[in-house]
């Protein structure tokens, strides 16, 4: 993640210039009746956690001197829940940040940044054809960690003679996949032509992602410790 502040339901996550993560859940804790007077700073590698006293919500956090510091292996249970919640929220944020984008003939294919198994989006937009009485689009969202595939379909009419566009309707279904991202036989038989086209793009893009991830792993392994 780039250095910036992300507002979340419990407060905020701040990615610092050092790539460390400031976890500020004080607001959410106070809503639940807690004291809400501490923030955590998690190192970029996730292994070191520093705790700072920050009793005033209205003033910026002062990170001059930590009141406590822990390695992840020795993090007290008091802070472990916040650590895990922050990790989950970061993963959700990364799932919306493109890491790799590939433009095929009919589709836009995107690998998200939530490693090690990033989500993948395949979008085939509707064609802008006024002669076509029914425009169709499709969006696939592959959750690699969960082995599930969201198939969202759009159906709508082109711009009418009055110049107003019919925004149409989106429908969605979720399909469970085998570990190799393979459909069950009954689900595969039920696919229509547009869904099969999107699945071909997904299959091709998965191979591209495998190559890109292998190259990155080699670069990361070659970096000095």
Q: Which residue has the higher pLDDT, 55 or 70?
A: 70
The reply to whether 58 and 106 lie within a common domain is: no
- Provide the domain limits for residue 24: 5-94
Contact 34, 26 (CB under 8 A): no
- Quote the CA–CA distance of 225 and 214 in Å, as a whole number: 19
The reply to whether 124 and 210 lie within a common domain is: yes
The reply to whether 60 and 111 lie within a common domain is: no
pLDDT at 76 over 90: yes
The reply to whether 129 and 213 lie within a common domain is: yes
β-bridge mates for residue 149, sequence order: 142, 175
pTM for this predicted structure:
0.74
Question: Please, which pLDDT band fits residue 166 given cuts at 50, 70 and 90?
Answer: low
- What is the average per-residue pLDDT within 81-90? 93
The reply to whether 89 and 107 lie within a common domain is: no
The reply to whether 145 and 178 lie within a common domain is: yes
Q: How many C-beta atoms lie closer than 10 Å to residue 31's C-beta?
A: 12
The reply to whether 72 and 109 lie within a common domain is: no
The tally of domains found in the chain comes to: 2
Last residue of a domain, one of 94, 111, 132: 94
- What is the average per-residue pLDDT within 9-14? 90
CATH number of the structural domain spanning residue 58 = 3.30.1120.120
Model pLDDT for residues 149-163, shown as the tens digit of each residue: 999 999 876 555 455
- What is the average per-residue pLDDT within 35-61? 90
The reply to whether 131 and 38 lie within a common domain is: no
The reply to whether 205 and 104 lie within a common domain is: yes
Q: What percent of the chain has pLDDT over 70?
A: 89
DSSP state of 46: S
Q: Which two tokens stand for residue 176?
A: 């469970």
The pLDDT assigned to 225 comes to: 46
Pick the range with the lowest mean pLDDT from 48-62, 113-127, 131-145, 209-223: 209-223
- What is the average per-residue pLDDT within 202-223? 84
Cα–Cα nearest to 44, from 69, 76, 12, 20 = 20
The pLDDT assigned to 159 comes to: 53
| Residues contacting residue 118 through CB under 8 Å, at least 6 positions apart | 94, 95, 99, 111, 112, 144, 209
Last residue of a domain, one of 67, 94, 121: 94
CATH number of the structural domain spanning residue 124 = 3.30.1120
Cis peptide before 116 (omega within 30 of 0): yes
Mean of all residue pLDDT scores within the chain = 87
The pLDDT assigned to 202 comes to: 95
The reply to whether 189 and 154 lie within a common domain is: yes
Contact 22, 43 (CB under 8 A): no
- What is the average per-residue pLDDT within 6-13? 90
The reply to whether 48 and 123 lie within a common domain is: no
Q: Which two tokens stand for residue 166?
A: 């019919």
Last residue of a domain, one of 62, 94, 126: 94
The reply to whether 183 and 118 lie within a common domain is: yes
Contact 26, 10 (CB under 8 A): no
The pLDDT assigned to 187 comes to: 81
């Amino acid at each position: 993640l780039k250095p910036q502040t992300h507002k979340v339901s419990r407060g905020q996550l701040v990615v610092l210039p050092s790539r460390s993560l400031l976890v500020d859940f004080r607001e959410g804790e106070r809503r639940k009746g807690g004291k809400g007077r501490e923030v955590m700073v998690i190192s970029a590698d996730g292994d070191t956690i520093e705790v700072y006293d920050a009793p005033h919500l209205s003033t910026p956090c002062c990170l001059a001197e930590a009141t406590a510091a822990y390695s992840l292996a020795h993090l007290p249970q008091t802070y472990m829940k916040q650590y895990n919640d922050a990790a989950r929220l970061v993963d959700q944020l990364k799932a919306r940040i493109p890491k790799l984008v590939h433009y095929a003939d009919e589709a836009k294919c995107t690998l998200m940044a939530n490693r090690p198994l990033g989500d993948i989006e395949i979008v085939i937009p509707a064609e802008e054809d006024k002669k076509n009485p029914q425009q169709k689009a499709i969006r696939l969202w592959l959750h690699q960690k969960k082995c599930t595939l969201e198939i969202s379909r759009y159906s709508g009419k082109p711009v009418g003679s009055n110049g107003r566009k019919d925004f149409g309707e989106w429908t969605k279904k979720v399909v469970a996949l085998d570990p190799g991202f393979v459909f069950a036989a009954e689900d595969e038989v039920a696919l229509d032509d547009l869904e099969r086209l999107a699945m071909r793009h997904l299959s091709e893009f998965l191979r591209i992602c495998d190559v890109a991830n292998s190259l990155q792993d080699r670069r990361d392994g070659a970096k000095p410790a």
